[in-house]
Each structure stands twice: as C-alpha cells, then as structure tokens.
Amino acid sequence: MRTDDDRLYYETPEWTPYDPDTLEHAEVPQHAADALGGRGLPHNAYEIFIRDSVRELNGADLPDCGPAAFLANYTDEDNSYWVSLTDGLVWMRWGKADEPADDTEQMNTTVQGLQGVLAAWCDLKATGLDENAEEEYEHAVNVAVVAAVSSDPAAFTDDDGWRPNFFPELEFTLPRMLAGDTQLYQLVHQDETGHWVLNHPGFEDDGEE
C-alpha cells in the first residue's frame, strides 16, 4: 500500500472572487454574481478549470444558451465554461475561442453547484491518492462522488450529460470493478435524515479467496 510519503501531492489551487464591478457591468444574475463575487472559483482545479484573467466575464452569445459571460477554460483553450446572463446556469462551450462554437452543453444548474463539483474534485486530487492506495483511494473516490452529486443533483439526472460521464471515469482507475452495471453517482441519494449517502454494492471480487 502507498504510504503518506509516497503520495502524489499537488499544489492546492487558490480560490478567488471575480471582480464585483465587472460582474455588475456584465449584468450577471444576482445569485450567480453573489457566488462568483464571494468564494469565487479556483484558478486551476487540477487542469479541469483554468481561469484566464484576460477573458474573464467577456460576453458572447452562445448557441442554445444565449447571452453568457466567460468563466474559465476547460483543460485547454479549446473548450470553456460560461455563465448564462439570463438565468445563471453554467454552460460548456465546445470549440476554439477564435472560431464558432462546435456545440454547447449545460454543465451545472447554478454557480454554487459548479463550486461544489470543483471542490469535490480538488479535495480528491489534494489527497495525493491514486489506484495504488487501493482501499484509501476507493474511499476517497466515494467521498468525492457523494460531494459532487449532493452539490448539484440535477446536473446528474441525465445519464448522457457531461457531469455523469466525467465522474465514472474515476471508477475506471479503481483497483477493483464495481459489482453490476450501476455507476457510483447513480447510487447517491438522501437518506431519511436528509444526509447524502452512497449505498455501495460491493465489488466483483468480494467474497472470493
């Protein structure tokens, strides 16, 4: 098993708010502006959310979304996150910045939901664990999936959506395969006390000698 000294530690990303004057000028919906101007968003959420101070809150009209303001890049400059100026939904714009959009897709129902999903991802990466840590990594992935789903449950209702298909990729790196065809995010729900839990079905090799 990997020891603490063997873990792959990453630099923790810094979370900073967006400029309040620019938020007001861009006419970002109030609930989204409150989130962006409060905790804000990370500067580099381990490569899946990369802020660009030059483009932040620049406006554009996106297919299906309508008027929106730029939030950050996804991994590279080919795809990017935007907040709708109509309702505060968070969208992904697929395509290079200097070319027409290839496509768009709704990512999160609120900026707060985006914050929760990114925080779950950052917390997982900050553990420094990978599949070599076996049970520790399995637990960390479970915690991350529960945190992500509970932060924006509606973003995980469409099995063909981007959010539901991003987190199952983590399962492919688990030391053991889940029993059955159900994905981890599909096992997350609120119990009778209102807490978000994951009813794990076990692994395919459970019970084998």
Q: Give 113-144 pLDDT, tens digit per residue.
A: 999 999 999 999 999 888 888 889 889 999 99
- Residue 33 token pair: 């502006």
Residue 1: pLDDT band with limits 50, 70, 90:
very low
With tokens 């990017």, the residue in question is: 80
Q: Give tens-digit pLDDT for 159-184.
A: 888 788 777 677 677 777 666 677 88
Specify the pTM.
0.88
Separation CA 67–CA 94 (nearest Å) = 16
What's the average model confidence in pLDDT over 187-201?
91
Separation CA 37–CA 35 (nearest Å) = 6
Q: 121 near 45, Cβ under 8 Å?
A: yes
Domain segments of the chain as ranges: 15-109, 127-198
